[in-house]
């Protein structure tokens, strides 16, 4: 199968499927291209394409509410995630599990005067159950650590009380590479297994 050649993103998308996410609403941009590629090629996840992030988040909220199951949303970096805020706040107070995936610039570029490099980490902190950030792979290449964080975020999403969970994802260029894989070798972890994994 085809997927992104950014391995930890391919793992993240496979873990989404293993944790029961069947729908993702994508708002395309350049920085989230690896997420779009991986989700679009995954046979078990239906992708919805909505360019406007505010509309996309409310559309995802509606799916999650109607199906009573978690739904993912994914956008590019910069001010794009801020447009999710109204729907995220509503999901928080209605106990709807939205998995918010925000692509981000590499950590070294934040606050360096480059356009659209806002502080995205914890940007929804008042309206999510938990916030996580994947390792910046220009600095750290520990795939095991990335899988651990993704599992933690997805487990948090489905635990009671249900609520949105944010995962911020710093990504370095190049972003559009494709890989051919027979399968993505990653395993969903439950609470007990994750505790052992962290040790």
Q: In the prediction, which pLDDT does 199 show?
A: 40
Q: Which domain holds residue 140?
A: 2-198
Q: C-alpha distances in angstroms, 190 versus 19, 83, 121?
A: 9, 32, 25
Q: In the prediction, which pLDDT does 11 show?
A: 94
Whether 105 contacts 30, CB under 8 Å: no
What is the rounded CA–CA span in Å between residue 141 and residue 52? Answer: 33
CA dihedral 173, 76, 137, 139 (to 10 degrees): 90
Tokens, residue 142: 């520990």
Whether 85 contacts 124, CB under 8 Å: yes
Count up the domains in the chain and report the number: 1
Tokens, residue 106: 């590499």
Q: In the prediction, which pLDDT does 196 show?
A: 47
Whether 67 contacts 139, CB under 8 Å: no
Buried b (16+ CB within 10 A) or exposed e, 164-199: bbbbbbbbbeebeeebeeeebebebbeeeebeeeee
Whether 8 contacts 184, CB under 8 Å: no
What is the rounded CA–CA span in Å between residue 104 and residue 110? Answer: 9
Q: C-alpha distances in angstroms, 49 versus 74, 82, 96, 159, 177?
A: 10, 18, 21, 27, 20
CA dihedral 160, 150, 116, 85 (to 10 degrees): -10
Q: In the prediction, which pLDDT does 119 show?
A: 78
pTM: 0.91
DSSP-assigned letters across all residues of 86-127 = HHHHHHHHHT--EEEEEEE--GGGTTSS-TT----TTTTTTS
- 10-residue mean pLDDT series, the chain (199 residues): 92 95 96 97 97 98 97 94 97 97 85 68 93 85 90 94 96 90 70 50
CATH of the domain at 88: 3.40.50.970
Q: In the prediction, which pLDDT does 184 show?
A: 64
């Amino acid at each position: 199968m085809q997927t992104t050649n950014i391995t930890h993103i391919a793992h993240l998308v496979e873990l989404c499927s293993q944790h029961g996410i069947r729908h993702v609403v994508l708002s395309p941009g350049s920085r989230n291209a690896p997420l779009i590629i991986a989700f679009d090629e995954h046979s078990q996840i239906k992708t919805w394409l909505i360019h406007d992030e505010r509309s996309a988040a409310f559309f995802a909220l509606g799916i999650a509410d109607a199906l009573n199951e978690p739904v993912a949303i994914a956008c590019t970096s910069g001010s794009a995630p801020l447009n999710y805020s109204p729907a995220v706040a509503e999901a928080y107070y209605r106990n709807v599990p939205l998995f918010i995936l925000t692509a981000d610039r590499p950590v070294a570029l934040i606050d360096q005067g480059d356009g659209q490099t806002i502080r995205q980490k914890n940007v929804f902190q008042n309206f999510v159950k938990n916030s996580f950030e994947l390792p910046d792979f220009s600095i750290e290449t520990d795939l095991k650590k990335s899988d651990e964080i993704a599992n933690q975020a997805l487990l948090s999403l489905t635990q009671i009380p249900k609520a949105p969970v944010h995962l911020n994802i710093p990504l370095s260029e190049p972003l559009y590479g494709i890989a051919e894989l027979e399968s993505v070798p990653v395993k969903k972890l439950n609470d007990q297994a994750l505790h052992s994994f962290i040790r």
